[in-house]
Amino acid sequence: MIDGRRRRYLLATLILALLLFNAPLAIVADGLGEGGYLPLYLFLGWTLVILLACLVMQWRAKS
């Protein structure tokens, strides 16, 4: 259904998402400033992952 390149990019996005949503990056976000930025961080990370997934799946190769 999707070519090898897209598969690789999608797996890379998955790995990025796993890193973004879990420790240790989430711990860093949890401790930022006076605290309370974890929800914002998670929603921004979530948006980024969706944008990347959309890019990978919908971008049309020139060929």
Partner 1 sequence: MFSPWFIVAAAAAYLGLLFVIASYGDRRAHEGRQLIDNPLVYTLSMAVYCTSWTFYGSVGLASEAGIAFLPTYLGPTLAALLFPFVLHKILRIAKTYSITSVADFLAARYGKSTALGGIATAVAMIAGIPYIALQLKALSASANVMLGLGDGEGILPFGIDSGFVIAIVMAVFAILFGTRHIDATETHQGMVLAIAFESIVKLTTFIAVGIFVTFFLYDGFDSIIQATRAAGHGDLLLMPEGWNYFDWFLMILLAGSVVFVLPRQFQVAVIENVDERHIRTATWAFPTYLLLINIFVIPIALAGRLGGIENGDLIVLFLPLEAAAPWLALVVFIGGLSAATAMIIVSTVALSTMISNDVVMPVLLRVEALQLTRRRHLSRLVITIRRASILLLLVLAYIFFQAVGAGYGLVGIGLIAFAAVAQLVPALVLGIFWRDANLVGALAGLTAGIAVWGVTLIVPALAKTGVIDPAILVDGFLGSPLLRPEALFGLDGLQPVSHALFWSITVNLLLLVGGSLLFQQDNLQRLQALLFVNIFEREGTTRIWRGDTRVAELHELLLRFIGREQAEHVLATDAYRRGHRLAMEERADAEFVQLVERHVARAIGAASARAMVASVVRGEVIGPDDILEILDEASQVIEYSHQLEERSRALEQAGAELKQINERLRQLDRMKDDFLATVSHELRTPLTSIRSFSEILIDNPDLELEERKEFLGIVVRESERLTRLINNVLDLSKIESGSMDWHVRDVDLVAVIDEAMAATRGLASELGATLERGAVPDQPALVRGDHDRLVQVAVNLLGNAFKFVPAKGGIARIGVTRDGADWVVGVEDNGPGVSLQYRDAIFEKFHQASESLKDRPKGTGLGLTICQQIVSHFGGRIWVEDAPLGGACFRFRLPALPAAQTRAAAE
Does 48 interact with partner 1 (rule: CB under 8 A)? no
Q: Does 43 bind partner 1 (CB under 8 A)?
A: yes
Cβ burial, residue 13 (10 Å; 0-12/13-18/19+): buried
Report how far residue 29's alpha carbon sits from residue 13's, in angstroms, rounded to the nearest whole number: 20
49 binds partner 1 (CB under 8 A): yes
Is 23 among the residues that bind partner 1 (CB under 8 A)? Answer: yes
**5 is a contact residue toward partner 1 (CB under 8 A):** no
- For residue 20, the minimal CB distance to partner 1 (Å) is 9
Rounded distance between C-alpha atoms, residue 41 and residue 15, angstroms: 17
